[in-house]
Amino acid sequence: MHTFKNTCAQGDVMFIRLPEGFIIPPSVTRVEPVNGKIEIAHSETGHNHVMEPAAATLYALPDTIMECLLVVDKPSILEHLRSFDTHAPILFEKGTYRVRRQREYIPEGFRRVED
């Protein structure tokens, strides 16, 4: 299991710890769990990046599909739901994190990285 201080990534999703005392903007929307898990990053193949809803809350930011906020209330593990070639679990400490889907350049412009 991996740990980190300020930034980390798991496949196509990146996490940046925000300063203590960061205030969640009122324009966010709470993302409800799916099948009993918080889908931090959805995969079209079903290999989602998930956390337990008892430990964290995910908030969607308005006007973007690339970023959201994750509030971790107690230490929690981010898992990658794939039985083969999986990403190692990551332990998140209590705090607020900016979650960003990574992008890549293609001749037509930028696109979301697919994991």
The tens digit of pLDDT for each residue in 50-98 reads 999 999 999 998 877 668 999 999 999 999 887 666 678 999 999 999 9
| pLDDT the model gives residue 67 | 87
Residue 77: give the domain boundaries.
7-112
Residue 1 lies in a domain: no
Q: CA 107 to CA 1: how far, in whole Å?
A: 37
User: Tokens 């006007």 map to which residue?
Assistant: 63
Number of domains in the chain: 1
Residue 95 lies in a domain: yes
Residue 33 lies in a domain: yes
| pLDDT the model gives residue 33 | 94
Residue 2 lies in a domain: no
Residue 19 lies in a domain: yes
Q: CA 14 to CA 4: how far, in whole Å?
A: 12
Over range 27-48, report the average pLDDT: 84
Residue 47 lies in a domain: yes
C-alpha distance across the termini of the chain, in Å: 19
Contacts of 72 (CB under 8 A, 6+ apart): 51, 55, 56, 92, 93, 94, 95, 96, 97
More confident call, 26 vs 108: 26
pTM above 0.85, yes or no: no
More confident call, 77 vs 45: 77
